[in-house]
Amino acid sequence: MGPESQSFNYLMPVEVKIKKGEPVERALRRLKKRLDREGVIRDVRAKRYFEKPSVTKRRRIKMAVFNNMVRLKYEH
């Protein structure tokens, strides 16, 4: 077992129960919202390709700088 398979052992499957008489489209919309909220799609896209630790660190620092800039802009 590699580190990739071990990191997903604790995750529960995402379920959306279709209510009686509910259209499938609405249930799909609820599923997409839940996946987005839990960050499943973001994680899958991030793990699609290997990213060097230095690139990961650079990306996180860039995001932190941007978020800090936005926070400071709207703080005053």
* Nearest alpha carbon to residue 15 among 42, 38, 46: 38
Question: Would 71 be classed as within a structural domain?
Answer: yes
The radius of gyration of the chain from alpha carbons, rounded to an integer in Å, stands at: 18
Q: What is the mean pLDDT of each run of 10 residues along the chain (76 residues)?
A: 50 83 93 89 89 95 96 87
Asked whether 30 and 17 are in contact (CB, 8 A), the reply is: no
Question: Would 5 be classed as within a structural domain?
Answer: no
Question: Would 7 be classed as within a structural domain?
Answer: no
Question: Would 1 be classed as within a structural domain?
Answer: no
pTM of the model: 0.52
Angle at 16 between CA 44 and CA 6, to 5 degrees: 35
Question: Would 6 be classed as within a structural domain?
Answer: no
Query: How many separate domains does the chain show?
Result: 1
Question: Would 50 be classed as within a structural domain?
Answer: yes
Cα distance between residue 10 and residue 7, in whole Å: 7
* Domain carrying residue 46: 16-75
